[in-house]
Chain A
Amino acid sequence: MKSELYYKSKKITLNILIHLFLISVAITCLYPLLWMISSSFKTQDIIFSDISLIPRHFHFENYINAWREGGFGRNFLNSIIYTASVVFGIVIISSLAAYAFARLRFPGRNLLFIMFMAAMMIPIPGSFVALYVLLNKLHLRNTPIGYILCMINVGLSTSIFLLKTFFDKLPKELEDAARIDGCSKLGIWWHVALPLAKPVLAVVVVFNALSVWNEYILALIIFDSRKFMPLQVALKTFQGEFVTNYPLLMAGLTITALPIILVYLFMQKYIVNGVTSGSGIRMKKLFNV
């Protein structure tokens, strides 16, 4: 009896220790974010003296100022537009290609596929230098379309890989039935393959959206004009522009971080599955999320 009690109390102590450990790390994770959000409601004079997490007075006008005078409204819109168009482009272009690599026959198919996969493996850290030169030549630098095309390319090979792996495993019966009914190849892709691929498409959408929303380096070298910049780059210029107005900066950071946190909380299942499956490991390497 005594030994059972001993084991039980030992187990409880271990559990308490484990929870203390986990909770302290969880607090360390959340604290900087809560601090950022709480500071975004304070004023410049008290932001460094009042270190409480819940401000005494909520100054919502910081957000209005950041949105209007700080110009973050415009940049927020840019980020939304870039993320939406890049993700849309990647979904269409990569699913077309992945479907062809999995199902259709044409000379050079394997060679092309290997090329895409090699691109996924070989890191080129200086690529932004060459992209800058290229976009200048094409007169696409400092234009949204130039940035969107570059970003579509960034997510392309991983998305093709994910979708091809999925199409490979898909039974062909449904497509055969559609073909007998007289459906064209494009029709089968659109009406049969894409709807079936929804779970993978969700992963493709979420990871590419995270990657575009958080992208920094290409936006930095491509855009000169503040009016075209996405949030990440605008934040940096904002810090340089004014004698740093911290509450506005914190409001800007919150505006930038909050959408991604919300997307994460809603799409958690896909993200966790994406990370822990084998393909997520590739995603870490490529998207560097």
Chain B
Amino acid sequence: MRFKSTLENYIFVLPAVLIFSVFYIYPFIQIFHLSFFDWDGIIPFKDAIPLGWGNFKEILFQDPSWWQAMRNAGYITLIALTFQNILAFLLAWACDREIRMKNFYRVIFFIPPVLSEIVVGMSWRFIINDIDGANIINRMLAGIGFPNLMHNWLSDPNTALTTVALVHCWKGFGWGFLIFLAGLQTIPRELYEAARVDGASAWDSFRKITIPLMIPVIVLVAILTILGTMQAFALIIGLVGGEFAGHTSVPVLRILASMRGSSRFGYACAQGITFGMVLVVISFIQYRFSKKAKE
């Protein structure tokens, strides 16, 4: 009876464990295995050439395009960390009071985050592309009297990455906004009241009350921004119109290029592991921080 009951309990977790083993654990092990081979994904795997650490050595020492992609992701992340999060914080601060249309703003700001990266990328490409002479931003610049600022935003290597980063911020700030707003609303109003009675200016209470109490939330949003932005790539496919993004490439797109462009499955896996390590380190830092924040 007891045995039958335990067996019955396993039935509950069986479907989850099955799917998880086949589609998570097996590929997870497989990535590590494949990363030590030179394999094109077509020939039978038994004919693949074992390379030892060869793929990893190549990534670390002989692949400038990989490091370019890492730098690009780092640059986009830096802009997201500063511009996007400061904007999100200011908006949240502006909404954290008795004002009209608060709910309207909240609804609107979260529309970009629910859209797919492809939709956002392609509709922004339509607005700023320079191939078909459509560039709405340029037309506006000309219209308001700055024709000399007109520019091929996405094809000029000097501005392409920043353009990508700004569209990324457009898509992402709503997340930070909602989390910041929720954080601000937990700060007791009495604190502000007391500060005002003591003669503190708005700036003083922002600096001495709001910021210190928001530190844990700020750290959290920062880590989430880093993890999310480093892995973003579909937006770039939508924006530049292809998987092989040249000077706006990012690590995930390099992995995709190794797999689909040059049919180097082993190398693609090694790139995935290298990049995964970086992300795990970031996640670990987040874990430490959130633990500290809880205490």
B-binding residues in A (CB < 8 A): 15, 18-19, 21-22, 25-26, 28-30, 32-33, 35-36, 39, 47-48, 51, 92-94, 96-97, 99-101, 104-107, 112, 115-116, 119, 121-134, 149-150, 152-153, 156-157, 160, 185-186, 189, 210, 213-214, 216-217, 221, 232, 235-236, 239, 244, 246, 249-250, 253, 256-257, 260-261, 264-265, 268, 271-272, 275-276, 280-281, 284-285, 288-289
Contact = CB atoms under 8 A, between A and B. Distances in A.
B106 interface: yes
Contacts of A51: 136, 139
A179 to B, nearest CB: 12
B234 interface: yes
Contacts of A133: 27, 30, 34, 41, 265
Contacts of B16: 93-94, 96-97, 116, 156, 160
Contacts of A265: 107
B179 A275 contact: yes
Contacts of A271: 110, 114
* Chain B CB within 10 Å, residue with most, of A26, A101, A149: A26
A157 B17 CA distance: 10
Given A25-B109, A153-B24, A126 B31 contact: yes
Interface in B172-207: 174-175, 178-179, 181-182
Contacts of B133: 48
Chain A interface, >50% SS class: helix
Interface in B89-119: 90-91, 94-95, 97, 99-101, 104-119
B205 to A, nearest CB: 14
B19 to A, nearest CB: 5
Contacts of B8: 185
Contacts of B26: 130, 134
Given A250-B126, A256-B116, 14 more contacts: A19-B101, A22-B105, A119-B20, A125-B272, A129-B31, A156-B16, A160-B16, A185-B9, A217-B256, A221-B259, A232-B118, A265-B107, A272-B178, A280-B179
B27 A216 contact: no
Contacts of B15: 92-93, 96-97
B116 A285 contact: no
A216 B115 contact: no
Nearest to B258: A129
B134 to A, nearest CB: 5
Interface stretch (B75-83, B146-154, B155-163, B274-282): B274-282
A127 B272 contact: yes
23 contacts: A18-B94, A22-B94, A29-B111, A35-B123, A94-B16, A126-B31, A126-B268, A126-B269, A127-B28, A153-B23, A216-B116, A216-B118, A235-B119, A250-B123, A253-B122, A257-B119, A257-B123, A260-B114, A260-B115, A268-B107, A271-B114, A275-B179, A276-B181
Contacts of A99: 12
Contacts of A112: 13, 17
B20 A116 contact: yes
B228 interface: yes
A129 B259 contact: yes
Contacts of B252: 125, 217
Interface residues of B, number: 94
Contact of A30 (B111, B118, B268, B283): B111
Contacts of A216: 116-118, 234, 237
Contacts of B280: 122-123
Nearest to B174: A29
Contacts of A132: 41, 259
A235 B122 contact: yes
B90 A134 contact: no
A123 B12 contact: no
A282 to B, nearest CB: 10
Nearest to A160: B16
B34 A281 contact: no
Contacts of A33: 111, 123
Interface in B3-17: 6, 8-13, 15-17
Nearest to B272: A126
A221 B272 contact: no
B170 interface: yes
* Chain B CB within 10 Å, residue with most, of A189, A256, A261: A256
Given A97-B13, A288-B231, A22 B95 contact: yes
Contact of B12 (A25, A28, A104, A276): A104
Given A210-B114, A285-B224, A30 B276 contact: no
